[in-house]
Structure 1
Amino acid sequence: MTVRLVYVLDAYCGWSYGFARTMAELTAAHPGLPVEVVSGGLFTGDRRRPIGQYEFIRDANERITDLTGVSFGPGFERLLDEGSFVMDSELAARGVAALRALAPDRSVELVGALQDAFYQDGRSLSDPATYRALAERTGLDPDLLVAAFESPNAVAEAAADFRFAAELGVQGFPTLLAVEDERVATLAVGHASTEEVTRRLAALR
């Protein structure tokens, strides 16, 4: 059986946003390597609170920028300053599921674009208009993407993603795993450079 990567992230997780560049470089360097993108449930239940209540975010974002080079755009900074925006990982996971359904071979790229919509432009990942705009930028059918986001299948897929992440024992986002048959090896948790992930992947082979 071929090795596949399982990439567990949360679209509202700053560290997952910082890891998007590594994932883009990795998939570009290994175009034939299957990657399964799975959403984790970071902001669910009683963690679904206004962003202003998470005082660690500014300091964490500075560390993310230092380590990865990503920037946080003015739209996101306005949300952080205003403080009332509520991050809902279940709805974000529906968005990931919709993108995955429409263009499975572009999942890593499209989820990176979804993260940009939040962390650059400050767009809500709960809002169908965000997915319409994303579709227009990335060459997808806007009506199909919005319909997929609002579908019962996206609800079921989001729940299935959360269960799968838990079954894999994932406790932090992002987590990148290499899976072959019953073997599961961890390639990255939180942060790793493309070179580090590539070395770990080569060692498995």
Structure 2
Amino acid sequence: MKLVHVFDAYCGWSHGFSATLREVVSRHPSLPVEVVSGGLFTGPRRVPIREFGHVQGANAKIAELTGAQFGEAYEQLIADGAFVMDSEAAARGVAALRRSAPGRAAELATAVQDAFYVDGLSLSEPATYRKLAQQAGLDANAVVAAFEAPQAQAAAEADFRYAAELGVTGFPTLLAVDGDRATALARGHATADDVDRRLASLTA
């Protein structure tokens, strides 16, 4: 069995789930964790953030429910409403980091979200992945090269397809995948205890 975390780096609820994901991973060190980007803001949804009028209100609710932080630098980044969330670029970045350290995919995915929601960094910029790679002790040049390579585009598209094949329609979704059977452990907000209860019922 493995865990599959389907998220979007530009999804506030996915950011809110980060602490739960980190706790689940720490409780189950022998359980492989795969991270898949879902592609929330692609195609016609790749528009200035002002077109999503509910962002601030949603973030306040996410913070209240999950304790997730939304940093001052993030608030400044989105203040004029012009910032464009591009999930394809973010998925390329996640794929580049994941390629450098496959066993640390969950940790790196949450770091990507912190880069945006806490530090106010664009997930479309190579410099963001250089910084993340350096912080994680990875080869920063290799990560940036992977982010800019055509293979990253293919990896992002493969992630979007896989998320659709798994039947995921909302982010985040944490699945237990055993062979060809996928069972949802969490959708949206859940605690590590919630996830553990559902996991226990699968292995009972």
Q: Same fold (TM over 0.5)?
A: yes
Other-structure match for 1:116: 114
* Residue identity in the other structure for 1:172: G
* Per-residue deviation, residues 125-164 of structure 1 (Å, max 9, x unmatched): 0000001111111111110110111111111000000001
CA–CA separation in structure 2 for the residues paired with 1:65 and 1:88: 23
Of the candidates 31, 48, 51, which is equivalent to residue 50 of structure 1? 48
Q: Does 1:162 align with 2:185?
A: no
Query: Deviation digits for residues 26-66 of structure 1, max 9, x if unmatched?
Result: 10111110111000010001110111221111111011011
Amino acid at match of 1:24: R
- Distance in 1 separating the partners of 2:98 and 2:53: 32
Aligned equivalent of 2:183: 185
> Which of 20, 31, 35 is the aligned partner of 1:22?
20
Partner amino acid for 1:151? A
Q: Where does 1:66-145 land on structure 2 (aligned, <5 Å)?
A: 66-145=64-143
1:129, 1:79 → 2: CA distance?
A: 16
Give the residue type in structure 2 aligned to 1:96. Answer: V
Give 2:175's aligned amino acid.
Answer: L
Q: 4+ residue stretches of structure 1 with deviation over 3 A?
A: none
Query: Of 143, 160, 171, which residue of structure 1 is paired with 2:169?
Result: 171
- 5+ residue gaps, structure 2, are none
Q: Aligned letter for 1:158?
A: A
Identify the residue that residue 30 of structure 2 maps to in structure 1.
32
- Paired with 1:74 and 1:61, the residues of 2 have a C-alpha distance of 13
Matches of 1:141 and 1:184, distance apart in 2: 34
The size of the alignment, in residue pairs, is 203
Counterpart contact for 2:97–2:133, Cα < 8 Å: no
The separation in 2 between residues aligned to 1:30 and 1:110, in whole angstroms, is 17
- Residue 193 of structure 2: aligned partner: 195
Once the two structures are TM-superposed, the CA of residue 79 in structure 1 deviates from its matched residue by 1.8
The residue identity in structure 1 corresponding to 2:101 is A
Q: Percent identity?
A: 61
Cα distance in structure 2, aligned partners of 1:181 and 1:40:
21
| Secondary structure of 1:158 counterpart | helix
Partner of residue 7, structure 2 = 9
Using the TM superposition, name which of 192-201 and 179-188 deviates more. Answer: 179-188
* TM-score of the pair, normalised by structure 1: 0.97
The residue aligned with 1:61 is 59
Q: Distance in 2 between matches of 1:79 and 1:47?
A: 19
TM-score (norm 2): 0.98
